[in-house]
């Protein structure tokens, strides 16, 4: 007559036989010294909280917000109306010459080259801001590489950075509102510039002989 045997317990995490809330690894034959604490979503969120009083602002982030708009006034120094004034039905090359003259004007060159320089400076300032947040004790701040969206004209870094810092420190929303405010300001300035350009075009159209 054979005696039935108890099937072996498969390896895995089981409640610690010594008691407590943690689990212990059973390797299939014996208990090991590997333990696992129970997962607590609250503790994971708390680990990403910055110490009380952590600074959310520094000079670098304000440069990120405002630097891209330094060259905006140069838009009004470019004589776009010269294209309309140079139109001559008897000279088909007049418009081409006017366009070249505009592209080579100091205002247009400063606006174009200055824009690329400011984009590079903005990315550099985003990197310094990222390092400053780490030094201030902000855990896992938004990575500075998001600033590369500034090449396409999108202020992703300051807005997203503000959201992340707000979660980590409880404050820091001023950066987001400043970035949004500058976007609105830009739309107003571009709207005024467009109105001036349309006015110049209409003035030219009114001078064209009807016959």
| Amino acid 111: pLDDT | 85
pLDDT exceeds 60 at position 42: no
Show the 3-state SS of 151-178: HHCCCHHHHHHHHHHHHHHCCCCHHHHH
pLDDT exceeds 70 at position 129: yes
Contact residues for 130 (Cβ-Cβ < 8 A; gap 6+):
141, 142, 143, 144
pLDDT digits (tens, 9 = 90+) for 83-110: 666 666 566 676 677 677 777 778 788 8
Query: 123 to each of 6, 24, 34, 186, 199, how far by Cα in Å?
Result: 66, 48, 45, 20, 37
Residue 15 DSSP SS3:
strand
Comparing 2-6, 31-35, 136-140, the range with the smallest average pLDDT is 2-6
Find where tokens 């590489």 sit: 145
Q: Determine the Cα–Cα distance for residues 89 and 208; give it in Å rounded to an integer.
A: 10
Strands 23-26 and 31-36: antiparallel
Beginning with the edge strand found earlier in the chain, give each strand of the sheet holding 31-36 in spatial order: 12-15, 23-26, 31-36
- State CA 112 to chain mean position distance: 21
Q: Determine the Cα–Cα distance for residues 85 and 200; give it in Å rounded to an integer.
A: 9
Q: Determine the Cα–Cα distance for residues 166 and 168; give it in Å rounded to an integer.
A: 5
Please give the structure tokens belonging to residue 34. Answer: 């590997």
What pTM does this model have? 0.68
- pLDDT mean over 75-83: 73
pLDDT exceeds 90 at position 7: no
Comparing 41-55, 114-128, 183-197, the range with the smallest average pLDDT is 41-55
> Which residues pair with residue 36 across a beta bridge?
23
At 163, the pLDDT band (50, 70, 90 cuts) reads: very high
Please give the structure tokens belonging to residue 38. Answer: 């129970």
Residue 6 DSSP SS3:
coil
Q: Determine the Cα–Cα distance for residues 199 and 204; give it in Å rounded to an integer.
A: 9
- pLDDT mean over 152-159: 91
Q: Determine the Cα–Cα distance for residues 179 and 117; give it in Å rounded to an integer.
A: 19
pLDDT digits (tens, 9 = 90+) for 181-202: 999 999 998 898 888 878 877 7
At 35, the pLDDT band (50, 70, 90 cuts) reads: confident
| Amino acid 201: pLDDT | 74
Please give the residue that has the higher pLDDT: either 81 or 16.
16
pLDDT exceeds 60 at position 211: no
Whether residue 180 contacts residue 61, with contact meaning beta carbons closer than 8 Å, is answered with: no
| Amino acid 1: pLDDT | 47
């Amino acid at each position: 007559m054979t005696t039935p045997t108890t099937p072996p317990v498969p390896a895995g995490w089981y409640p610690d036989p010594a008691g407590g809330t943690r689990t212990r690894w059973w390797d299939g034959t014996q208990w090991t010294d590997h333990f696992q604490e129970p997962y607590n979503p609250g503790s994971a969120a708390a680990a990403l909280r910055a110490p009380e009083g952590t600074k959310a602002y520094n000079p670098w982030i304000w440069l990120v917000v405002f630097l891209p708009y330094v060259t905006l006034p140069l838009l009004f120094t470019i004589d776009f109306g010269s294209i309309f004034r140079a139109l001559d039905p008897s000279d088909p090359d007049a418009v081409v010459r006017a366009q070249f003259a505009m592209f080579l004007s100091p205002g247009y060159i400063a606006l174009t080259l200055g824009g690329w320089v400011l984009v590079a400076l903005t990315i550099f300032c985003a990197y310094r801001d990222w390092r400053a947040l780490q030094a201030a004790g902000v855990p896992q701040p938004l990575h500075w590489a998001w600033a590369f969206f500034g090449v396409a004209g999108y202020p992703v870094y300051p807005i997203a950075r503000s959201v992340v810092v707000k979660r980590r420190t409880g404050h820091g929303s001023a950066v987001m509102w400043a970035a949004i405010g500058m976007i609105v300001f830009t739309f107003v300035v571009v709207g005024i510039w467009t109105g001036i350009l349309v006015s110049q075009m209409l003035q030219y159209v009114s001078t064209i002989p009807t016959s």
